[in-house]
Structure 1
Amino acid sequence: MKRKIWISILVVAVLAIVIGLNVFRTYADSTANVKTESVKDEEINSTVMTPGTLTMANESLLYQDPANGEIKEVLVKEGDSVKKGDPIITYENPDLEMEKEQNEINIESLYLRINSLDKQENRLKEKENELADDVGEEEAEETMETELEQVKMDKRMANLDLRQALLQRDRLKQKISKLEVTSEISGVVIKVNEPGVSQSVLEQPILRIGSMDNLVVEGKLSEYDTLNVEAGQKVTITSDALPDEKWKAEVMDVGYMPEATSGEGGASSSAVQYPVTVKISESEDLKLKPGFQMILEIETESHQALTLPFEAVMQDGEKQFVYVVKEGKAVKRNIETGSSTPKRIEVTKGLKKDEAVVIDPPEKLKDNMEVTVK
């Protein structure tokens, strides 16, 4: 008798457990735990992001000029500060020095010749005056005319030669002045390459001087982005080298013509890119060096809008929807979206401010399902 009672109790307990599990499963399938966030009314900024390279707006590159001769000395070293007009390179040119010396000798010789011809002309005139006392002025003039005309002609030729020699001296002075090269800008010597005569060396600048007071970032824009970017727009600059730092800047210039690009093997690429130059604010303390890779976030538009996190938006074909929590239930709501930021998206239709939307909805979540907000 007792055995039958225990068996009955066990059967009832098993049935109770099975029924309880089914009830729990049914309840669990009809409810879900969710996280929510409220729809916010905030300022949203539309941005264009593109990589760029930090460089100097004011930069001077000096190349070796074989026409000046050989470089005698580079007067500066990397890191030196220079002012505009400071000597930075000197050349030596033996041929030019010899030409200068020959020109000086030629000029001196011409002056001596002209002085000699002046004396000769004076002597001939004195002789003409003495002869005039004996035979008369007219006959004396006819007698001395040929010699005097020849001397005058020689003087004119000597003066022409002197003018030409003096012009040559001026040209030589200009050439010699180029033997001492001065800086075109004030700045810092960034790079010094050893002078040489090989073609590869001649193609490199001997000196690179730049001003660290005026730094810019040069990047590229697609055809579409150029329609939205213009001079004066605000820019936020970041760098992987200093991930926690940000710098303020503004668009200085957008290229009118695209840059030539090439694909693999030098083939022409269909991608068209336009240069963009961004000027960093003068007040910004930039701890980077020219050549660093930067990321430009250009603010193309700013306006007030309702926004929500990207994680709340679901896709059903071409339609977008969210789940709005109403009276303990998740209600499916079709929406339309607009501009976006890296974390949030604008809602242009379908939601109101402060409505609670489900973030990362679970797969089992259905329309009008009861939910528990975590």
Structure 2
Amino acid sequence: MIPSVQTDPSASRKRIIRWIAGLLSGLLIVLTLFSNTLYSLTLPKVTVERPSAGTLNPEFNGSAALTFVSELDLSNPEGGKVQQVLVKEGEEVKKGQPLILYKNDDTVDQLDSERDTLKKLQLPIESLQRAYIEAANVADPAAQSAARTALESAKTDIAAQERRIQRLESRLAEQRELMAPFDGVIESVHAVEGMPSGSGEADVRIADLGKGLQFELQVPVHMASALNIGNPLEVIAEDKINRSLQGTLLGIGEFDSEAAQPDQADAETVRLHVGLHDKTLRAGDRVELKLELQGNEDALIISSEAVHKDRDGAYVFVIDDRKGPLGNARYARKVSVTISAVYESSTAVVDSLSEDESVIRESSEPLSDGTQVRY
């Protein structure tokens, strides 16, 4: 007979328990890996790039219409009717040149009346002089004093009347002519012969040729930041031969006081105010501004879409790799950058990044400092 083999029930149970424990451990690992995979799919997906050493040489071309730096509206301050218009729109004039003749009947009538008064005052002078001479020949001091006083009083009245007439004559001369206050060009003429001066608009608008022309343009703020007031700038006159002229930078962001000025922390462009002198150009002519700047040789070039801005300035996100129990995890780290140039779709930054860093160019969701991401 073959003896029967007895199985230890406790050993069997231990094997079953070990098997179940192993199965549960494996299932736990699978679930952990699966849940980690699911979690990673919820993270923002990003694309990255490496900065490259290089130089950006930004260029800018912009067109604008010219205006005169100084323009003045002129009318006859004393009023009167326009007798004759001596100039036309677009005409160059010299300082002191008559522009318009006026006729003021009221002042003429007043002057005639004052002249008549002067004649009346002059009539008794001869008789007063004779009376004074006769009194001087008579030993009568009282008569001499009275005659002298009468003669001097008459002469004083005559002198005062002559001064009054001179003032009226000067006033009438001013009323009769409107003269150019400087060498200039007539921008517009609104005076109409036979109509009162300043009827609705100034009689003449004149531009000062001596102060030249000006224009304004919005340019990228990083182009303007490399410029200084007084810098010479290349300007092209958009005429038949596209002449090259030299303009001068008069101001940055301060030309049109009525225009809204952007917050400089967020502004993409800034206003340039440029002046130039050219006797052949006039208000309304168009010119082109050409800017070309030499970039920083120590800069790193990245895509412009990787650069963000807030009130503290410009920044980018770079990838930080951190070790975890299930491998490396990737996080976005905010890095402030200094922009030295922007041209087309590229931006040059300095003093912030290294070539071996991974810069986040795009993200499927908005990022903040410390956000976990995936490639």
The TM-score, its normalising length taken from structure 1, stands at: 0.56
- In structure 2, what is the equivalent of residue 346 of structure 1? 348
The equivalent residue for 2:55 is: 41
Percentage of matched positions with identical amino acids:
18
Cα gap change, 1:312 to 1:109, in 2 (>3 Å):
closer
- The residue identity in structure 1 corresponding to 2:75 is Y
- From 230, 233, 253, the equivalent of 1:232 is 230
Seen in structure 2, the aligned counterparts of structure 1 residues 245 and 313 have a Cα distance that, compared at 3 Å, is farther
Please tell me the root mean square deviation across aligned C-alpha atoms, in Å.
5.7
- Of Structure 1 and Structure 2, which has the larger fraction of its residues in strand? 1
Stretches of structure 1 lacking an aligned partner (at least 5 in a row): 1-35, 129-140, 263-268, 323-332, 364-368, 370-374
Q: Which has the larger share of helix?
A: 1
Which of 290, 309, 313 is matched with 2:283 structurally? Answer: 290
Return the offset for 1:160: 1.5
Distance 1:307 1:283 in 2: 42
Instruction: Give, in angstroms, the shift of residue 342 of structure 1.
Output: 3.8
- Distance 1:211-1:38 versus aligned 2 partners, 3 A rule: same
| 1:206 aligned onto 2:217 | no
Determine if the alignment matches structure 1 residue 217 to structure 2 residue 218. Answer: no
Residue 87 (structure 1) aligned to one of 87, 98, 106: 98
Distance 2:278 2:262 in 1: 40
Counterpart code for 1:290: A
Residue 119 of structure 1 is aligned with which of 130, 142, 149? Answer: 130
* Native 8 Å contact 1:191 1:209 kept in 2: yes
Give the 3 Å change call, closer, same or farther, for CA 61–342 of structure 1 in structure 2: farther
Distance 1:101 1:235 in 2: 61
| 2:149 aligned with 1:153 | yes
Residue 162 of structure 1 and its aligned partner are, at CA, apart by: 1.1
Distance 2:143 2:290 in 1: 89
Task: Measure the CA separation in 2 of the matches of 1:158 and 1:276.
Answer: 70
How far the C-alpha of 1:245 sits from its partner, in A, is: 9.0
The aligned runs of 1:165-314 (5 Å cut-off) are 165-178=161-174, 179-195=176-192, 196-197=195-196, 202-212=199-209, 214-217=212-215, 231-233=229-231, 248-253=246-251, 259=257, 278-282=273-277, 289-291=282-284, 303-306=296-299, 308=301, 310=303, 313=306
Report the CA distance shift for 1:118/1:92 in structure 2 as closer, same or farther (over 3 A): same
Query: What is the aligned counterpart of 1:54 among 60, 63, 66?
Result: 66
The aligned counterpart of 1:265 is none
Q: SS state of the match for residue 123, structure 2?
A: helix
The answer (yes or no) to whether the contact 2:97–2:179 under 8 Å persists in 1 is yes
For residues 122-150 of structure 1, what are the alpha-carbon distances to aligned partners after superposition, in whole Å with 9 as ceiling and x for unaligned?
23334x2xxxxxxxxxxxx24xx444333
Deviations 1:189-216 (A, max 9, x none): 1211134459xx6452211122456112
CA distance in 1: counterparts of 2:263 and 2:286, whole angstroms:
21
Aligned residues: 285
Residue 347 of structure 1 deviates from its aligned partner by: 3.0
For residue 165 of structure 1, report the CA deviation from its aligned partner.
0.7
